[in-house]
Amino acid sequence: MVKQKTQDFESAIKRLEEIVSQLESGDLQLEKSLELFEEGIQLSRFCHGKLDEAERKVEVLLKDAEGEMKRAPFEGESAATKDAEEEGGEEA
């Protein structure tokens, strides 16, 4: 199994681009190609998860129960933080 060293989305995308480039060159032996392919799949899943997480955050920020755009707290954000931002006149 390939160790995943990447911890942020941008680094994962950069590494994934490098892997694609190497695989597209066609100059690798089968074993190395399979190793890179496995790493690429892991990175792809990691990036997909990060994008799903970001999409959920955006949806929470944009819609309320009636479908109107309104800011709402998300994981790790307290209601006090939301109230303070609303009192400060900030809108999403």
Under 8 Å CB-to-CB from 4, ≥6 apart: which residues? Answer: 39, 42, 43, 46
The per-residue pLDDT for range 43-79, each reduced to its tens digit, is 999 999 999 999 888 877 777 667 676 655 556 554 4
Contact 48, 24 (CB under 8 A): no
Query: Which pair of tokens denotes residue 90?
Result: 């900030």
In this prediction the pTM is 0.61
Are 59 and 18 in contact, with CB atoms under 8 Å apart? no
- What is the arithmetic mean of pLDDT over 4-30? 89
- What does the pLDDT look like over 22-40, one tens digit per residue? 999 989 999 999 999 999 9
Domain coordinates of the chain in residue numbers? 9-87
| Whether pLDDT at 41 is above 60 | yes
Task: Assess if CATH 1.10.287 describes domain 9-87.
Answer: yes
